[in-house]
């Protein structure tokens, strides 16, 4: 993710919430300031804000994407132990609100969680509201492999536009020390003992699997996103 509110009144933006501020090393969790920021110190502004008394499940940010929506949600509650691939459902926080499905792609050091939903998620109804996500399983077949992966080579295979939606997953795996590559199914290479994460429609994943070289001895994790 890139800085959304550079030099704007709302700085520090949601990247401070997720410990990914582009400029401030303090907001990334480091102990030494190593920035050349000339404006008002983002770390001081963040420290001086009122205490965060928002309940777990509060939607911190809504990111409209191509065919999907990314939600950054305050962790805690059932989200505290949610691993990548955990599927949740929640109801829009309005009278008669419909159910929304989403998948956890990563958690942040600050305790926030990134959810990806393919259902319409109106920002005006969600931003700042507390949702009550209920876990209903895990969408990643082999999710235990990802949960235990650290310091491994991981190749994420997906075609556009799904590939662009998986950047938070890749960032979360890198944060745990893994070497992660986002690649197209038509053009990729990996060590024979790498972890392969294949995402897409069922027929796409079958083609990826049949295209593996006989020497491949790694683990495979799959996410079927449609028929």
pLDDT, residue 52, reads: 65
User: Could you read off the pLDDT of 19-45 as tens digits, one per residue?
Assistant: 777 778 888 777 777 777 666 777 777
User: Could you read off the pLDDT of 149-188 as tens digits, one per residue?
Assistant: 989 999 999 998 899 999 999 999 998 999 999 999 888 8
Same domain, residue pair 29 and 85: no
pLDDT, residue 227, reads: 54
How far, rounded to the nearest angstrom, does the alpha carbon of residue 62 sit from its chain's CA centroid? 12
Tokens standing for residue 95: 């009278």
Rounded Cα distance, 61 and 202, in Å: 31
pLDDT, residue 159, reads: 92
Of the candidates 51, 75, 93, which is a domain's last residue?
A: 51
pLDDT reading at 6 higher than 70: no
Q: Specify the pTM.
A: 0.83
Of the candidates 28, 51, 74, which is a domain's last residue?
A: 51
Same domain, residue pair 123 and 158: no
Tokens standing for residue 144: 């235990």
User: Could you read off the pLDDT of 45-84 as tens digits, one per residue?
Assistant: 776 665 667 788 999 888 888 899 999 998 888 888 899 9
**What percent of the chain has a predicted confidence (pLDDT) above 70?**
90
Please give the sequence-ordered ranges of beta strands (E in DSSP) within the chain, or none if there are none. Answer: 59-65, 68-73, 86-91, 99-107, 113-117, 134-138, 153-157, 179-183, 195-201, 219-226
Residue of 41 and 227 predicted with greater confidence: 41
Q: What is the residue range of 76's domain?
A: 59-138
Same domain, residue pair 82 and 126: yes
Q: Are 184 and 198 in contact (CB under 8 A)?
A: no
Q: Please report, for residues 21, 56, 57, 58, 60, the alpha-carbon distance to residue 129 in angstroms, rounded to integers and kept in the order given.
A: 23, 10, 8, 5, 8
pLDDT, residue 148, reads: 93
pLDDT, residue 29, reads: 75
Of the candidates 138, 171, 203, which is a domain's last residue?
A: 138
Q: Are strands 153-157 and 179-183 parallel, antiparallel or unpaired?
A: parallel
């Amino acid at each position: 993710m890139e800085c959304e509110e550079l030099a704007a009144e709302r700085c520090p933006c949601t990247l401070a919430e997720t410990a990914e501020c582009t400029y401030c090393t303090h907001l990334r969790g480091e102990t030494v300031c190593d920035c050349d920021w000339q404006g008002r110190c983002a770390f001081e502004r963040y420290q001086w804000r009122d205490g965060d008394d928002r309940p777990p499940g509060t939607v911190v940010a809504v990111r409209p994407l191509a065919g999907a929506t990314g939600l950054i949600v305050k962790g805690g509650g059932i989200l505290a132990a949610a691993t990548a691939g955990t599927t949740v459902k929640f109801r829009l926080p309005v009278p008669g609100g419909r159910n929304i499905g989403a998948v956890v792609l990563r958690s942040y050091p600050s305790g926030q969680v990134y959810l990806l939903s393919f259902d319409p998620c109106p920002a005006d109804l969600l931003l700042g509201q507390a949702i009550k996500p209920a876990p209903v399983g895990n969408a990643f077949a082999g999710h235990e492999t990802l949960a235990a992966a650290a310091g491994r080579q991981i190749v994420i295979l997906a075609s556009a536009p799904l590939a662009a939606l998986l950047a938070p997953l890749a960032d979360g795996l890198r944060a745990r020390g893994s070497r992660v590559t986002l690649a197209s199914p038509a053009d990729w290479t990996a060590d024979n003992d790498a972890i392969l994460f294949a995402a897409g429609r069922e027929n796409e994943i079958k083609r990826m699997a049949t295209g593996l070289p006989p020497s491949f001895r790694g683990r495979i994790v799959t996410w079927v996103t449609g028929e």
